[in-house]
Amino acid sequence: MTAFRNASLRSALRREYEAARRAGRDATDAELLRRAIHSPVSQGYFIGVDHAIDMIRLHRGGRMPGHMSAMRRQMWDEIAAKVEDRRVSTGCNTTEAIAHVLSSATASRFFVSDTCARSITLAQRKEMRG
């Protein structure tokens, strides 16, 4: 999942770079990367169903780990809301709802830190600036 997420992030960065170039905007690497990170992700959340089942169970019980970052918590809040909407609207069980959300929902953003995103895209950013 990590390799797929990284490739998707690099693709989003490439789209932002090309859009800025076509528009004649001179954007910094940091600005382009920030736009890429905060763009909707049609490929979803890059999380396995088994892990999501455990985390949704914790989320429902109000027992999310205290050390969890605000961004990670936002991601689980978003997933949990979509799972509950799916479960209620279709009558499916939680596991089926999780599987559906992970396979077909659009994430509001890439849930990676700026530091992680910079390291994932470092070589590509150097190549694009060439």
Same domain, 49 and 100: yes
For residue 107, the model assigns a pLDDT of 95
Concatenating the DSSP letter of every residue in 54-77 gives: HHHHHHHTT---TT--HHHHHHHH
Domain count, the chain: 2
Residues of the chain below pLDDT 50:
none
Same domain, 84 and 54: yes
For residue 91, the model assigns a pLDDT of 97
Residue length, the chain? 130
For residue 126, the model assigns a pLDDT of 72
Same domain, 36 and 53: no
Same domain, 60 and 85: yes
For residue 92, the model assigns a pLDDT of 97
For residue 12, the model assigns a pLDDT of 94
Which residues span the domain enclosing 9? Answer: 1-42+109-130
Q: Which residues contact 98 (CB under 8 A, 6 or more apart)?
A: 49, 52, 53, 56, 79, 83
Same domain, 57 and 24: no
Same domain, 57 and 78: yes
